[in-house]
Every structure is written in structure tokens, then in C-alpha cells.
Amino acid sequence: MNDVEKGSRQRSPSAWSSGLVLAAAAAVCTALVAVTQRLTAPRIAENEMAYLEQSLRPALAGVFYDNELAESTLVLAPPHGLPGNEPAIIYRLFSEEQPVAAVFVVTARGGYAGPIRLLIGVEYSGELAGVHVLEHQETPGLGDRIEASRSDWLTQFEEASLESPPRERWAIRRDGGEFDQITGASVTPRAVIRAVKETLIYFESNRDSVFAARATGDTEQEQ
């Protein structure tokens, strides 16, 4: 039984037939990808929604809300005044039509390795409900201790606001602030603290328009 074929490589085909073969292969492969995409799309959307609900929870310690998150989403195209120059997302939470809190998805710049996506829950009063790291590429074992699963560094933001600690003390201890540092990593916490502070300042001056703005779709409004 000889599986090795020698003939197939020696023919020298015309450019036309090569092109045709490539085009046919491209068509078949595209169809394959399209079918897979069609089959998986509903599940992927479902996962994303479940993941959203689940991932907003850590930024919302104890906040009760009764509205549909997807229907209260606000996507702000840059420039929006929030940290980062990617689109910022705001989920607004209401209880019996009264605004109770807002969750911001913003990008902290100035991390050690690339942008850090943060989830920042702010209660209507301006007090932080919680901060959660969605995505980062910080060094494993050092900067990645900002992750809730690796240390409780993020819990110190709970109940913090621009009044406590006062604005000028929003920094790690080494820089004369009130927040704990992470041993071996100071760049990462600085970036996170700055982004949280900027978000609080934004919320302070835009609170009413944030809650008044119409949900998704009309992303341009909002001063």
C-alpha cells in the first residue's frame, strides 16, 4: 500500500485554473464560516447577556434595581469626558423609575501593558458601589492583583466618594494618598485610581443628563 503520490505536484497549471481553484476554495470556506456563525450567534448573544448581568454584579454591591439592563444602556462615542478614548458604556439602574445607580464601562490608560477595562458602579449619591476589572494585560502575579479573584484590592473602593477620601487624596499611599498599593506594581493601581476618580468627577457634573438621556441608539446626545 503506497500512499505517497508523486504525480499531483508536477503538473504546471495555468493561472486561470489556479485562480478558479482558489476562488472555489474561498467560497466553500466562507460558506463554512457563515454557517457556523449563524448557528452560534444566538448562543453567543445569550452568553454575552448573561456575562453582562453577572459581571455587573461585583460593581453593584447591594444595589437593588428592577429595570432591564439592555434597555438602559447608553453608549457614548468619544470624546465623552470619561477616561479612555474608546466608546464608553453606561448602564443606568432604576428602581420604580427612580434612578439608583449607574455602571460605567471605561478604559483606564497608563497601565503597565495596554488598556484596562473597568466597570465602575456609582450610586446616585455619588458614592461608589464597587469597581471591577473587566479586562487587562497586566503582569501575572504583580499587576494582575487588581483582579478581584486574586486579591481584595478593589474592595477598598466600595463606599468611597469624592468626599471620602477627599479629591486630592485619591492616590496610593506612596504618592500621599489613601489607597493601598500593590507590592511590586505601582503603575497599575495609579491608572485604576485615576480612571475611577475621573469617572466620579464626570458623574458629579453630568448626573442628571446621564439618567435623563434616552437609551441606546441615539448615542450622539449628551452634551
- Residues in contact with another protein by CB under 8 A are 1, 3-5, 8-9, 11-13, 17-18, 21-22, 25-26, 29-30, 32-33, 36-37, 39-40, 43-44, 47-48, 51, 139-141
Residue 131: other Cβ atoms inside 10 A: 27
CA distance 125 to 167: 16
Residue among 36 and 156 whose Cβ is closer to another protein: 36
**Closest approach of another protein to the CB of residue 37, in Å:** 6
Residue among 38 and 223 whose Cβ is closer to another protein: 38
Exposure on the CB side of residue 16, measured as CA atoms within 13 A: 0
Phi (first) and psi of residue 115, to 5 degrees: -70, 150
CA distance 60 to 104: 11
**Closest approach of another protein to the CB of residue 90, in Å:** 22
**Closest approach of another protein to the CB of residue 135, in Å:** 9
**Closest approach of another protein to the CB of residue 155, in Å:** 19
Exposure on the CB side of residue 85, measured as CA atoms within 13 A: 2
| Cβ-based burial of 94 (10 A; exposed 0-12, middle 13-18, buried ≥19) | middle
Residue among 61 and 134 whose Cβ is closer to another protein: 134
Residue among 35 and 70 whose Cβ is closer to another protein: 35
**Closest approach of another protein to the CB of residue 83, in Å:** 22
